Structures are given as structure tokens and as C-alpha cells.
Amino acid sequence: MKTTKKILLPESEMPRQWYNIIADMPIKPLPMLHPATKEPLKPEEMEGLFAKELVEQEFSTERYIDIPEEVRTLFKIYRPSPLVRASGLEKALDTPAKIYFKNESVSPVGSHKLNSAIPQAYFNKIQGVKHITTETGAGQWGSAMSIACRHFGLDLQVFMVKISYEQKPYRKFVMNTYGADVVSSPSTLTQAGRALLAENPNTNGSLGAAISEAVEMAMTKPDTKYTLGSVLNHVILHQSIIGLEAERQMEMADDYPDIVIGCFGGGSNFCGISFPFLRHNLNSGKKTRFIAAEPASCPKLTRGRFEYDFGDQIGMTPLIPMFTLGHDFQPASIHAGGLRYHGAGAIVSELQREGLIEAMDIHQSETFRAGILFAQAEGIIPAPESTHAIAATIREALKAKEEGVEKVILFNLSGHGLIDMASYDKFLLGELSDFSVPDEDIAASIAKLDKLIK
């Protein structure tokens, strides 16, 4: 078939099952540990916090898990999402590489987060839960849960990381429009929040702290469960729909990726686009490279340690076997709020240990340049998070040009930046900090981008 700009799957071909990579991993991830006993966590110990079916998914070793029909119906608001040939970017880079991106920005909240928010709200609903708590960094996950909870008639309390609450007021308004309650975290609603505020009244907040608050409220309030937008196995499972669709769309385009790239916070969009392709590395000898693009100021995969660590700042969650910067790590206030998390999920950490995936860390000033070049070439202004994937893609496409090889690169456009325009404004005014001095290589990358931006 002749490749069009957008490669569209009909609704009827939307996947009916999620893919669980654990079934295909040669070495399984280590178990989570109970925070008090340090014994392997049992499913029933998670059920106080999470809906029962989500806990089953968390521990499942089944290769494929059915997507409920009610969830699929809601997905049709925006799924299947388009696979797009980035012909404008290819031209701007003058590269022999063929660049595709999966456009997850088409969801009503502008990101991939709805892929897990809908099933999480659904499984809570059918169990009779009334109230949901969650945290949000950039606000993408909170917005997604707001829609999903509204649809299923659940109340939602969102703890929004303070720096994002201040930098991204529009995100709060979006959540309010869908009927959610949003507070700045650390808040005075929880013991955890009050303790953190007492310790440092001027804190920027962090995802780790917001998680502590949301978990505490879920554990202490009746008919209440907690939801998380990344890191955990069941979230990664839900996000596999991205890669499963992309796989069929690449077939339609008669191509297969040499490199798959996603930005990396806790793993949800990177794993979502990667794992269905990584399956073929594991099972059929494919040699695709998988690159997790993370911020230089929060480099858990490139510079963190692999160890058991808490998922939250206070230490209320189970211990997770993860690449981590330490659960009390305070990331700089970069605009990619969704990537300001100290650790990586258990599955992706295990894959990184075994060298089955790669990681790349990128400075903020390079990512915004990449974002502007992409916007000018493809029309879409990317989310600050997604600009990390774009910057990594540009690096690889320019390398392909230097080497004169035709690579097929697929990246995930996890979201658009229209609700984060204040960050672009700051960048254009020269007011964005890089938090650390770029080394020579990075300075060279930045100089290349400056030449390409018109």
C-alpha cells in the first residue's frame, strides 16, 4: 500500500487484548516487598489500596489479557490513534531515516494517559468503589482520571505537584471542568503533606510526595481506592495498546522499526510503545533498539542505582526493585513535570539491567529546541515531556545521516503542549534554566538544532 501521511486503523481493528511482557521475559522482575515485613508482597496486601482486578493484572503472568468491551467503547472517543509519517521533520533534518510517530496527543486531554485512566476507573466502578485518589505531575494523568471518573460516576481527589500547580494552571481548570477536586501538594489534607510542609514550607513538591498523600487518603477514607498513572505493571499493561496498534500500522506502511523511542518518567508511554515490538526481539530474533529518553535533571535509568526503593517520598508504598535516584530525590523544576519521578517501574528496570533497552538523558534546552523544530515541521506543538523523545529521535536521525544509512525510527508523541504554552513562552524569552551545564556533546546537539530552526 502507498504510504499516506496518517496511517489509520479502523475502530473495528482496535486491539481486544492487552499484552503483558512478563510472559515473555527470560528473567522475571524481582517481586515487590512489603514495606514493613520486607517479605514478597501478596496480592491481597495490595487490595486495600487498589481495585481487585487491577491487583490481579499487577501480578498476572498471562501473555494476553482481555480489554472489557465497555472500556473499548470509551477508547473509541480517540482510538485507534494515528500513526504519522513525519515527512516534514525528515525534510527539515535532510535525513535518510524514515521517521514515524504514534500520535497519542489526539486524546481529549491531549496525552496517552487516558489509556490507563479508563480501565482503572472502570475496574474500580464495577467493584463498587465510590471515591478515587491520585496524584499528578504535569497534570496529564490527573486530567485523564478526571474524565474517566466523571464517566463512571466516581469522585476524584487529585494531589497536584506544587510546581506544576503553579506552572500549569490550565491543567487544573481542565480537571475542574470534568468535576475533580484538585489541591496543590504537599497539602494540609494529609499527615504526609503536613509533615512535608513543616519540614520545608517552600518545597516545589514532587510526584513522590503527592503519591504519599494520595495513598494516605485512600487508606484512611471509606470506599476509597488509589490510582497511579505509571510505574506499576498494570499501568504498563494498559499502555501496551499503543504499541499493539503501532505494530499493525507499521505493517500497513510495510515497515518495521529499527529504533523505538519514548520519553521516560516512570515508564508508561515508553513501555506502551516499546513492549509489543520488544516481544519480537525476545521471541523472533528481531534486533530493534529501544531508547528511553529521560531528562538530564532526573536521570534514573542513566545514572540511578538498581535497588529496592519506595515509590513515594514518605515511604508508604511497597518496596519496588527499580532504578532509582532515591525516594527523597528532589528533581529540578523542569517543565516536563510528568518526567520528574525518582524511579522506573520493576519490569523496565529489569530489562535495563539485562541490556534489552537503552536510555539517553537530555537537557531541557535541547528538548525545547527539538519541540520547536518539530512544531514548525509537523504543525503539532509537543508536550514538554514528548520533546525528550523528539530530541532523541533527532539525534538518531542525524546519526543515520552522518552514517548514510536508512533507519526506520518510531517514536511516541505522548502528548501535545497546548496546555503548557507558558513553558514555550519562557523558552522563547530565554528564561528557561538548564539546571546543569551541558557538556560538549550536548552543546553540539544544541548548536545543530539552532541551525535547523528557522
HSE-CB at 63 with a 13 A cutoff on CA atoms is 6
> 407 or 416: whose CB is closer to a second copy?
416
Give the other-Cβ count within 10 Å of 56's Cβ. Answer: 17
Among 61, 284, 285, 454, binds a second copy (CB under 8 A): 454
CA torsion 122→114→260→69, rounded to 10°? 40
Residue 348 interacting with a second copy (CB under 8 A) = no
Q: Is the C-alpha dihedral spanning 319, 291, 89, 372 positive or negative?
A: positive
Whole-angstrom Cα distance, residue 454 to residue 436? Answer: 26
Compute the least distance from the CB of residue 204 to a second copy, in Å: 22
Span 3-62, contacts to a second copy by CB under 8 A:
4-6, 8, 10-12
Q: How far is the CB of 272 from a second copy (least distance, A)?
A: 20
Of positions 421, 444, 447, 450, contacts a second copy by CB under 8 A: 421
3-state secondary structure of 415: strand
Euclidean distance between CA atoms 353 and 346, whole angstroms = 11
Task: State the minimum distance, in angstroms, from the CB of residue 372 to a second copy.
Answer: 6
CA 449 to the chain's CA centroid: 25
Report the nearest approach of a second copy to the CB of residue 68 (Å).
16
User: Rounded to whole angstroms, how far apart are CA atoms 122 and 111?
Assistant: 19
For residue 271, the minimal CB distance to a second copy (Å) is 24
Residue owning grid cell 533527532: 394
CB closer to a second copy out of 9 and 271: 9
Interaction pattern, residues 168-207, with a second copy; x per rule: CB under 8 A: -xx-xxx-xxxx----------------------------
> Considering CB under 8 A, how many residues would be counted as binding a second copy?
44
Q: How far is the CB of 146 from a second copy (least distance, A)?
A: 10
For the four alpha carbons of 147, 149, 152 and 154, in that order, the dihedral sign comes to: negative
User: How far from 259 is each of 86, 93, 285, 357, 392, CA to CA, in Å?
Assistant: 15, 17, 15, 10, 11
How near is the Cβ of 120 to a second copy at its closest, in Å? 16
Residue 372 binds a second copy (CB under 8 A)? yes
Q: φ and ψ at 136, to 5 degrees?
A: -150, 140
By CB under 8 A, the residues from 101 to 160 that bind a second copy are 106, 108-110, 147, 150-151, 153
In order of 253, 323, 333, the CA distances from 306 in angstroms are 38, 4, 24
CB of 312 to a second copy, least distance (A): 29
190-215 CB burial, b ≥16 within 10 A, e <16:
bebbeebbeeeeebbbbbbbbbbbbb
Closest contact distance (angstroms) between CB of 219 and a second copy is: 27
Is the Cβ of residue 5 or residue 16 nearer to a second copy in the bound state? Answer: 5
Considering beta carbons, is residue 73 or 220 the nearer one to a second copy?
73
Residue 76 makes contact with a second copy by CB under 8 A: yes
297 within 8 A of 308, measured Cβ to Cβ? no
CB of 16 to a second copy, least distance (A): 15
Site for a second copy in 198-257 (CB under 8 A): none
Q: Return the number of the residue (106 or 296) whose C-beta is nearest a second copy.
A: 106
Q: Is the CB of 91 or the CB of 303 nearer to a second copy?
A: 91
State the cell numbers at 250. Answer: 507499521
Between 293 and 372, CB nearer to a second copy: 372
Question: What is the Cα–Cα distance from 59 to 47, expressed in whole angstroms?
Answer: 12
Backbone angles phi, psi at 297, to 5 degrees: -90, 0
Q: Can you tell me which residue has the cell 466502578?
A: 125
Q: Which residues bind a second copy (CB under 8 A)?
A: 4-6, 8, 10-12, 73, 76-78, 106, 108-110, 147, 150-151, 153, 169-170, 172-174, 176-179, 372, 375-376, 378-381, 416, 418-419, 421-422, 424-425, 428, 454
